[in-house]
Amino acid sequence: MKKRDILLSFLSGALLILSFPYFDLEFLAWVALVPLFLAVEGKGLVYSFKIGFLTGAISFLGILYWIIVAVHSYGNVPLILSALILLLLVGYLSLYIGVFTYLIRLIQIRLGIETILFIPFLWVALEYLRSFLLTGFPWANLGYSQYLNIPFIQMVDITGSYGLSFVIVLVNATLFQVARQWVQKIFPLKEVILTFIVLSGSLTYGYIKLGIIDRQIIQNPSLKVGLVQGNIDQSIKWDESFQKETLKIYSRLSQRISEEKPDLIIWPETATPFFFQDAKEYQPLVQEIPKRTNAFLLFGTPTYRIEKGKVNHYNSAYLLSP
């Protein structure tokens, strides 16, 4: 691979990393793919796949680096093996970016398509496939980078996170088209107008939705909420011998916060480290808390359903009344 294309690939990978937490420079996601598009422009199919794979490897390694800590610290997996697991996962996820750039060039070469408007559809299709194939891995989808961009993300109630990814990739592809044709003194008017309509439409919907929410907040009575965080160490959270102690901690904290007379008490995600639906021993302990505090209790717990002979697990929430 040419040094220029490798550097462009590294640049795209670095910009994607900076778009996600911990850096939270989400605006960089809107230009992060432009260097990648420049790197594969006019290249062969296999070459384009390699460039895309390299970008994916760099970005996913920087975004998902923490998995090595989770697997090693909380899964009790040796550090070297944890690193290997991370590398295998990154390699698998990078295949999707490689296939993405491969398909771009395949469509351009075989069908002779010059417009870049098909590119967002490719990205979203592969992102959707990655979210479900082989049990699915929907983490680090491009749209997630915009979680701080409140007006823009309002559209997820219609499109899901895939709609966010679509618009981001559309903007990237259009910027690439503008840059590519600038030297030829050609302006891709059709692509720019369409991108402007899609982006402005998304933002307009977001601001309208936020305005509706603000009016609803003003019109409806306020609700006093108490947040409880037990700060249970992840290394012992799922230890069966510590389950009762976990409930005692949350019960004690809920009782303390009830002195402020909240309308609703909220525990964290999977605050009950067991299947609440089956936990006959622990159910009464949890159900007693809303009555004792005279407040609704919202808490997270794992659940399951047997559907068509298959056990499906869910990350669920329960709301208990006083």
Tokens 């305005």 label which residue? 211
Distance of alpha carbon 55 from alpha carbon 35, whole angstroms: 10
Instruction: Tell me 222's DSSP state.
Output: P
Task: Output the DSSP codes for 230-252.
Answer: ----HHHHT-GGGHHHHHHHHHH
| Residue 269: band (very low, low, confident or very high) from pLDDT cuts 50, 70, 90 | confident
> Mean pLDDT throughout 71-79?
86
Distance of alpha carbon 233 from alpha carbon 39, whole angstroms: 45
| Residue 114: band (very low, low, confident or very high) from pLDDT cuts 50, 70, 90 | confident
Instruction: Tell me 133's DSSP state.
Output: G
Q: Tell me the CA distances in angstroms from 180 to 5, 50, 70, 301, one per residue in order.
A: 15, 22, 43, 51
Distance of alpha carbon 237 from alpha carbon 250, whole angstroms: 13
H-run or E-run covering 189: helix 189-219
pLDDT at 94 > cutoff 80: yes
H-run or E-run covering 318: strand 310-320
Mean pLDDT is lowest, of 43-47, 115-119, 180-184, for 180-184
Which tokens in the block code for residue 285? 């302990």
Q: What local confidence, expressed as pLDDT, does residue 163 receive? A: 97
Class of 225-320 in CATH:
alpha beta
> Mean pLDDT throughout 81-92?
96
pLDDT at 88 > cutoff 90: yes
Q: What local confidence, expressed as pLDDT, does residue 116 receive? A: 84
pLDDT at 271 > cutoff 90: no
Residues 6+ apart with CB under 8 A from 237: 246, 273
Please say whether the dihedral angle defined by the alpha carbons of residues 30, 32, 36 and 39, taken in this order, is positive or negative: positive
Sheet holding 310-320, edge to edge: 225-227, 264-266, 296-307, 310-320
Task: Please write the tens of the pLDDT for every residue from 162-216.
Answer: 999 999 999 999 999 999 888 778 888 899 999 999 999 999 999 999 999 999 9
Distance of alpha carbon 166 from alpha carbon 108, whole angstroms: 19
> What ranges do the domains of the chain cover?
3-218, 225-320
Neighbours of 223 (CB within 10 A): 9
pLDDT at 140 > cutoff 80: yes
Is there a contact between 176 and 37 (Cβ–Cβ < 8 Å)? yes
Residues 6+ apart with CB under 8 A from 235: 73, 74
Task: Please write the tens of the pLDDT for every residue from 226-247.
Answer: 999 998 887 777 778 888 899 9
Tokens 């351009």 label which residue? 108
pLDDT at 30 > cutoff 90: yes
Interhelix angle for 45-63 vs 3-19, to 10°?
30
Coil/strand/helix, residue 58: helix
Tokens 């439409």 label which residue? 201
Which tokens in the block code for residue 98? 């490689």
